[in-house]
Amino acid sequence: MRSLVAGIVLAALSAPAAEQGQLDSSLSLFTILAAYHAARAPEQPWRAADESLREAVVAEILSRKPSTLPALKNFFEQHRQRDPIEDLSQYISFALSVHGPPEFKYRFLLNQLPPDVFPLQGLEKLVAKFYKESGVEELWKKAQPRYEQVIERYHGPIARAVLEANAYVRSPTSGVLGRRFQIYVELLAPASQVHVRNYANDYFVVVTPAREPQIEEIRHAYLHYLVDPIVLRHAEEVNQKKPLMDFALGAPLLPEAYKKDFPLLVSKCLVKAIESRLAPRSQRQALVEQALREGYILTPYFAEALPAYEKQEQALRFYFPEMVKGIDLRRETQRLDKVEFARQPAQPARQSEPPAPKPAPSGPEQQVEEAEDLYAKRELGKARERFLAVLRQTDDRKLHSRCYYGLARIATLENDPDLAERLFQRVLELDPDPQIAAWTHVYLARLAEAAGETNQAREHYQAALQLEGATAAARAAAEKGLAALGARVPRRSPE
Segment 372-428, tens digit of pLDDT: 878 877 788 898 999 999 998 888 899 999 999 999 999 988 888 999 999 999 999
Torsion of CA 285, 287, 293, 297, to 10 degrees: -80
In whole angstroms, what is the distance from residue 460 CA to residue 222 CA? 28
Strand 23-24 and strand 194-199: the pairing is unpaired
45: amino acid identity, one letter: P
Kindly report, residue by residue over 37-94, the tens digit of the pLDDT: 999 888 777 889 999 999 999 999 999 999 999 999 999 999 999 888 899 999 999 9
Residue 182, classed as helix, strand or coil, is strand
The interaxial angle of helices 397-413 and 380-393, nearest 10 deg, is 160
Strand 23-24 and strand 202-207: the pairing is unpaired
| Residue-level pLDDT at 374 | 83
Q: Percentages helix, strand, coil for the chain, rounded to the nearest 5?
A: 65, 5, 30
In whole angstroms, what is the distance from residue 228 CA to residue 232 CA? 6
Q: Which of 124, 116, 117 is nearest to 68 (CA)?
A: 124
Low-confidence ranges of the chain (pLDDT < 50): 1-21, 349-360, 491-495
Angstrom distances, CA of residue 9 to CA of 27, 54, 87, 475: 31, 38, 45, 18
In whole angstroms, what is the distance from residue 343 CA to residue 443 CA? 48
